[in-house]
């Protein structure tokens, strides 16, 4: 995904299920994964990298995931 694409939690859940043989539905479990990725990126690479994650991955209401 590039910085202009958006991926919903539901879409990300499907991708995680395929890659990890998991059972994410796109709800709170995926939100936690995105939140952890956001905080990791913020600590390791700074605010700009974290904001890319927040911009690309959105909940079902289209809200950014922080």
Q: For residue 58, give the DSSP letter.
A: E
Q: Where are the domains of the chain?
A: 7-58
**What tens digit of pLDDT does each residue of 5-53 get?**
888 888 998 999 988 888 888 788 888 889 999 999 999 999 999 998 8
Check residue 46 and give its pLDDT: 97
Q: Grade residue 3 by pLDDT with cuts at 50, 70 and 90.
A: low
Q: For residue 27, give the DSSP letter.
A: S
- CA-to-CA separations, 12 to 43, 44, 45, 46, 55, in angstroms, rounded: 22, 22, 22, 23, 14
Check residue 47 and give its pLDDT: 95
* Contact by Cβ (8 Å): 13, 64: no
H or E segment to which residue 57 belongs: strand 57-58
Residues 6+ apart with CB under 8 A from 37: 53, 57
């Amino acid at each position: 995904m590039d910085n202009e694409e958006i991926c919903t939690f539901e879409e990300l859940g499907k991708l995680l299920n395929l890659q990890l043989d998991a059972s994410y539905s796109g709800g709170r479990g995926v939100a936690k994964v995105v939140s952890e990725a956001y905080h990791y990126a913020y600590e390791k690479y700074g605010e700009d990298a974290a904001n890319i994650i927040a911009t690309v991955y959105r909940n079902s209401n289209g809200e950014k995931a922080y």
